[in-house]
Amino acid sequence: MGIHLAHLNEAGAKKRRSRRQVIEEITAYAFLLPALLFVFAFMLYPMLHSFLLSFTEYDFVYDKAPTFVGLRTYLEVLQDDFFQISLKNTAYFALGFFPLLVIISLGIALLLNLPLRGNTVVRTSVFLPVIVSLALTGVMFQGMILSGKFGLLNHILGNVLGLKSWTREWLTDPRTAMPALIAVSLWKYVGFEALIFLAGLQAIPEALYDAAKVDGANAWQRLVHVTLPNLRESFTLVGIWGIIQSIKVFEQPFIMTQGGPANSTLTLYYYTWINAFDFFEMGKASASAYLICFLILVFSLVNMYLTRGERV
């Protein structure tokens, strides 16, 4: 009789625990539901819908429904002269922006990691451009710094340094428009990357440097053989983030140059935006958007492959 009652009590306890677990799971999903609905409505559904649109011809102003054409939309985009121009311009931007972003941010991080007075203030000032909106950054540089008539840069070159031959219309000259956008992007983003490198530097055990000093390694050897190998994770993060920013550049040409002069700053994202909201060709815009995603994926995988390896 006592054994039977013990089994009943144990079964009742398991039933109560099971009921409590179900209630807890339902409560957890109830709290997650708004976030899941948000992700589905504003991320997953648009991604899926645009992927399907990339295989169609669809003018969302005049067409009642998309017309399925398969891969023809992708072929039309790849053969479009303006897509090829935007691809070259994006490659130009990436080749100028990405290496400088990594080198400058790493150099700043190495300086900020030194035990110097006032480093806290310097770190704050380095990060300040990151919190300024990109739209405001573009307007500020366009009107106050890079303007041909009233810009601070031309004033310093011409009136302060006496280099009037160096002054020019920075954003309306095809030779300088893209370098100007690269410079603005570096000013905006280098502080964020520097903080990523700084976090990686501060995670390196001091004992490694002490051991290297005992072995007779100088500052350069410690940098090459201790610091850089232990920043592999930071290089991976910085690389992927920098690749994304290099390929999806949009706000800078949209605000500062409108793709000009002579299409010299027409980038892939800007090309996609023009197809979608100027020409209303949603199929073509979706196809170019997924080509951009493919490029980001490929270069991110290459970056992860090149920065693979173990910490020292």
Per-residue pLDDT reduced to its tens digit, 184-226: 999 999 999 999 999 999 999 989 888 888 888 888 898 888 8
Instruction: Report pLDDT for 13.
Output: 53
User: How many C-beta atoms lie closer than 10 Å to residue 44's C-beta?
Assistant: 11
pTM as predicted: 0.85
| Contact criterion met (CB below 8 Å) for 280 and 60 | yes
Name the average pLDDT for the chain.
87
Instruction: Report pLDDT for 163.
Output: 84
Long-range own/partner contacts, residues 301-304 (CB < 8 A, 24 or more apart): 303/236, 303/239, 303/240, 303/243, 304/236, 304/239, 304/240
Q: For residues 114 and 118, what is the distance between their CA atoms, to the nearest angstrom?
A: 11
Give me the sign of the Cα torsion angle 271, 274, 277, 282. negative
Q: Given pLDDT bands bounded at 50, 70 and 90, which one contains residue 6?
A: low
Average pLDDT over residues 284-309: 88
Which of the listed ranges 7-11, 159-163, 264-268 does the model predict with the highest average pLDDT?
Answer: 264-268
The tens digit of pLDDT for each residue in 11-58 reads 555 565 677 888 888 888 888 889 889 988 888 898 999 999 999 998
